Amino acid sequence: MKQMIIAVLILGYFFWPSCHNLEMVPPTENPLTCEDTIEIPHPGKMEHGFLKAIKTCRDWKASGAARLYSTLPNHMSISGNTYSAYVLTNGDTSFLYAENISFYVPKKVGKFPLFSTSKFLQDSAYCIFENIDIDVATARWSVDVSAPDNNVEITELDLINKKVKGRFNVHLNIDFSVSGAVHFPSKLYFSDGEFDLEIVN
């Protein structure tokens, strides 16, 4: 018995390094296509305005709002949320966050390229899209900078009456560092996007 344990330990010593030299296999990409079934969550009440677009071949709409920040004097945020309906034990229906799309754009009329990082350059913008389970991001996508038509355009901005309107197109790649990302499409895109929003602060 003692000899068998020693033999197993010796074999383990020689095979252990080979187990640890395996190359990491990159996650398999699974872009969403028009043939796939695409869930479109509820747009919500849209009390401060809306965003709408074609989300990979399906009509998509979200409740939206714009915000100004003292820490970002040259930029503003434009965000939209969709919601999933949950039936509670008493029969009531509760609507919880399902998705969030956020743009950070220069605070002026114009058309701006979208990037995947938040450097807040003078004439650039960035976008992030998240799938949300209650209040936790279960998947996150950032701008696919290889696509030629990623942009957001502010067509109207009225800081006195607190209104902003515009358009957007964005192609997105998933962030595989977020746990569970492999269960979601690796690529998404929003085309022919529009927004008409109140600035809520």
As a whole-number percent, the residues of the chain with pLDDT over 90 amount to 53
pLDDT of residue 32: 58
User: Residue 17 — pLDDT band, cuts 50, 70, 90?
Assistant: very low
Residue 199, pLDDT > 90, answer yes
pLDDT of residue 37: 59
pLDDT of residue 163: 98
Of the two residues 97 and 33, the one the predictor is more confident about is 97
Neighbours of 142 (CB within 10 A): 19
Query: Taking the CA of residue 98 as centre, how many other CA atoms within 13 Å lie in the half-sphere pointing to its CB?
Result: 17
Question: What is the C-alpha R_g of the chain?
Answer: 23
Of 91, 90, 98, 92, nearest to 42 (Cα)?
98
Neighbours of 137 (CB within 10 A): 18
User: Which has the minimum average pLDDT: 12-21, 43-52, 107-116, 191-200?
Assistant: 12-21
Q: Cα separation of 126 and 140, whole Å?
A: 14
Residue 72, pLDDT > 50, answer yes
Chain mean pLDDT for the chain? 83
Of the two residues 11 and 114, the one the predictor is more confident about is 114
pLDDT in tens, 146-181: 998 999 999 999 999 999 999 999 999 999 888 778
pLDDT in tens, 20-67: 444 444 455 666 566 555 678 999 999 999 999 999 889 999 999 999
Decide: 15 and 160 in contact? Cβ < 8 Å: no
pLDDT of residue 18: 46
pLDDT of residue 90: 73
pLDDT of residue 43: 94
Of 141, 144, 147, nearest to 174 (Cα)?
141
Of 201, 187, 178, 193, nearest to 80 (Cα)?
193
pLDDT of residue 136: 84
Q: Cα separation of 13 and 18, whole Å?
A: 10
